[in-house]
A = this chain, B = another copy of it.
Amino acid sequence: MYAVVLAGGSGTRLWPLSRPERPKPFLRLLGNDTLIQRTVARLAPLVMPSDVYVIAERRHLGLVAEQLPAIPAANLLGEPIGRNTAAAIALAAEAIDRPDDDVMLVLPADAYVADEAGFRDSLRTAGEVARAGSLVTLGVKPNRPETGYGYVVARPPAPGAADLGFLIVDRFVEKPTADRAADLIATGLASWNAGIFAWTRSTIRDCLARYAPEIAGPLRAICRSGTPADLDAAYPNLRAISIDYAVMEPASLAGEVTVVPLDAGWSDLGSWAALRDVRQGGAKPADEGGAVGPGGARDFGSTGTLVVAGGRLVVTVGLRDVIVVDTPDALLVCSAERAQEVREIAQQVSTGRASAAQEEKKP
């Protein structure tokens, strides 16, 4: 079993701290380690650093190497530019030289997990299920009708079957309305798509070839007999699409996808509000004021606040559910309930403009 950590991202959701040149995986948002350091650390002892691969935009490989010295340099894969997860996973499946029936875990570099042992247990189960040939996704039990996530709707392998630790996925539902999300949750068969996958190399290569040949084909050819210059030339023309849209959804309609439950206090940290929730939920580091970063923070009677202090003194007074993010060239003060809008706002304001064109191409 080996792990492929996806360290892409445009650096807009957690603007202004995350930027195109230093996206979320490389930030110290929880404690002294960056999110990618935490991601790699929590894989051990299930997957040790020598079996961890990281795929990132080439310009970020320096950050990866600096932050993860225990990972062999040969395990770091650079994309010429980010082209979403289908391309990244296809590149990993072709470029990483492992036996066809080894299990490849794929996981984002920037998520949060409260119960790390429970997380590894789910990954271990997913690996076992994956050996039987399905595409396995980890499903998080929803605790609210979240509209920002994708949902996985599943059923037992056979009617009345014993709990085998996995379900067969019927379909994916991307970002439902709140009513639809509540309906999905009420069925008891829906879970959040955490973007964490397990499969054998042969399974994912077969599925990519079938469902996303326009991505898998060129990459396979280049990895077999091409040059780095060929990759540079081809990569920007690859379709920028997520693995969910490109492979998991069509494969689920063919009954090829299974889901293994993940009940370990997971968050995608996909917005400042999500980070706030994780920090309030017991994951708060030593600085009790809720501050992240080197600057001092003083609060007078606020609740539900997240303060990310930069180099200056930040004083908050009587706020309710407000996010404050202080960086040298930009300050964000945002109602927590509107934190989902930060991604779009970051693209509108000048410092985020560089990543806007790229984001728009995402499905």
Contacts and interface: CB of A to CB of B under 8 A. Distances in A.
Interface string A185-227: 0000000000000000000000000000000000000000000
A313 B335 contact: no
B313 A338 contact: no
Contacts of A342: 317
A338 B326 CA distance: 22
Contacts of A330: 312-315
Copies of this protein in the complex: 2
B314 A331 contact: yes
A300 B337 contact: no
A316 B334 contact: yes
B338 A333 contact: no
Contact of A333 (B333, B337, B348, B349): B333
B315 A329 contact: no
A345 B319 CA distance: 15
Contacts of A88: none
A341 interface: yes
B317 A338 contact: yes
A317 B300 contact: no
A351 B317 contact: no
A315 B331 contact: yes
A225 to B, nearest CB: 49
A328 interface: yes
A20 B349 CA distance: 35
A298 interface: yes
A301 interface: yes
A337 B318 contact: yes
Nearest to A323: B317
Contacts of A332: 315, 317
B350 A315 contact: no
Contacts of A335: 317-320
Contacts of A318: 334-335, 337-338, 341
A329 B301 CA distance: 22
A234 B316 CA distance: 40
A246 interface: no
Contact of A315 (B312, B313, B314, B345): B345
Given A314-B330, A317-B335, A318-B338, 7 more contacts: A298-B348, A301-B338, A312-B329, A312-B331, A317-B332, A317-B341, A318-B335
20 contacts: A298-B345, A298-B348, A298-B349, A300-B341, A301-B338, A312-B328, A312-B330, A313-B331, A313-B351, A314-B330, A315-B331, A315-B349, A317-B332, A317-B334, A317-B335, A317-B338, A318-B334, A318-B338, A319-B322, A322-B333
